[in-house]
Structure 1
């Protein structure tokens, strides 16, 4: 599991528009989601390659035997057909950009 951290020197200020632009430049279609505290996604997979980006909040991801807490500015690639689970950590909602690779 490799987490990419936002780099203000390279990526600019962490904003929804800037993260969306970065993900779109990688050939992704991007959707925004807000997950309230207590949200839990049991183990599942997707038929597409994805990148989960966190704009705010804390999101625990379990993937390929590893576990990490994603925070604002973190990006995690989730390959297609790889089982993973996710959970909002703490009392703050998670604002996430869900990027599906289309190219």
Structure 2
């Protein structure tokens, strides 16, 4: 960006923002800011309708052992870590999740990998309980 100051001198201002192209849209000019939290989305065309049974089936096909939990509205999990890598998967409700200094809201069908020894926190948001799978390999 070029700007002139009061004396008529030209100033050049450089702004660096990292953007990555969305997959499959490299020629459209669509861009998005990158996030360190990678959310895997449920795909009804591949996985079928989302349910407790289909989520567990998908996780088992990916090689995970699953434990199902239900958390009521307002449930809070302060900063913590795990000694093994995990995948958190949401079947119902909304789960606010923070890791790497970023915060996202996970919705039904969202899955997120949590590397071992990585500080993260979460809480149930909204008025619905969260049905949640804790998956490990």
TM-score when scaled to structure 1?
A: 0.95
Match of 1:24 in 2: 60
Cα RMSD of the aligned pairs, angstroms, is: 0.7
Query: Unpaired runs of 5+ in structure 2?
Result: 1-36
Structure 1 residue 69 corresponds to structure 2 residue 105 = yes
Q: Name whichever structure is richer in strand by fraction.
A: 1
Write the mapping of 1:74-93 to structure 2, written as runs, cut at 5 A. Answer: 74-93=110-129
Query: Unpaired runs of 5+ in structure 1?
Result: none
Per-residue Cα deviation, 1:35-76 (whole angstroms, up to 9, x for no partner):
011100000000111111000000000011111000111001
**Higher relative contact order, chain-length normalized (CA < 8 Å, sep 6+):** 1
Runs of 4+ in 1 over 6 A off after TM superposition: none
> Whose Rg is larger?
2
Write the mapping of 1:1-103 to structure 2, written as runs, cut at 5 A. Answer: 1-101=37-137
